[in-house]
Amino acid sequence: MQEQDLAAVGKAPLFAGLSWEELQQLLAHARVRHVKGHETLFAEGDKAQAFYFVASGAVRLYRLSAKGDEKVIEILLPGSTFAEAVVFLGGHYPVYAATLGDSRLIEIPTQDFVRTLKANGEMAMKMLASISMRLHHLINDVQALTLETAGQRVAGYLLEQSPEGVPSADIHMVVHKNVIASRLGVKAETFSRVLAALRELGLITVAGNDIHIADRAGLEKWREDVGSTRP
């Protein structure tokens, strides 16, 4: 693994509290994997051998219902780690993971990772703090899926993809809208309907996979006032 890869992994929330020397020690056995699009990395129930960092491309985590319907749990973009819970819980992967396009991943073997952490308590405490912050983020996601309307979820997703403090922004959807809709817990047609409503209000414009937020403040207000009363 090259130094630029190590630097990129070090910016991930899980590793943000570690020094350069600690990163080198912890990721000594990590390796780069080039994975084709729509390739399954692991299936639900597979024995957990590693967790991953997305250097480029995108990965979806999902589960299958008894009827075979797919429910997207999370979409991982560059800079994200996933399956790290298995490092501490051991056992088997609780979800499926598959690439959404050609991707470059950093594979981190769990056995070597855990061995290093056990030998360094200070390093383990730093990572525990990072995991706690990640947990808070996931709790916020659950709250959004259970308490917010479809309109609020879609507007919230758009706002999350754009930088704060700017009046307008451009977003490129790297994954299909059906995948995003599943992640937000809404139907694909509902996702499209909300986008159409926002477009009619002049809050956004849509061109293929590109969305331009024309009025961020207006979108935030719509989310608070109108989005909460619409499907």
Return the residue matching tokens 């075979």. 68
Under 8 Å between Cβ of 71 and 62: yes
Q: Is it the case that residue 205 has pLDDT exceeding 80?
A: yes
* pLDDT tens-digit series, residues 57-107: 999 999 998 888 888 888 999 999 999 888 777 789 999 999 999 999 999
* pLDDT tens-digit series, residues 112-162: 998 998 898 888 887 776 666 665 565 566 655 566 888 998 999 899 888
Long-range contacts of 187-194 (CB under 8 A, 24+ apart): 190/150, 190/231, 191/150, 191/154, 193/231, 194/150, 194/151, 194/154, 194/155, 194/230
Domain coordinates in residue numbering, the chain = 3-146, 148-229
pLDDT attached to residue 63: 93
> What is the pTM for the complete model shown?
0.70
Among the CATH numbers 1.20.1250.20, 3.40.630.30, 1.10.10.10, 3.30.420.40, which is that of 148-229?
Answer: 1.10.10.10
Look at domain 3-146 and name its CATH class.
mainly beta
Q: Is it the case that residue 35 has pLDDT exceeding 90?
A: yes
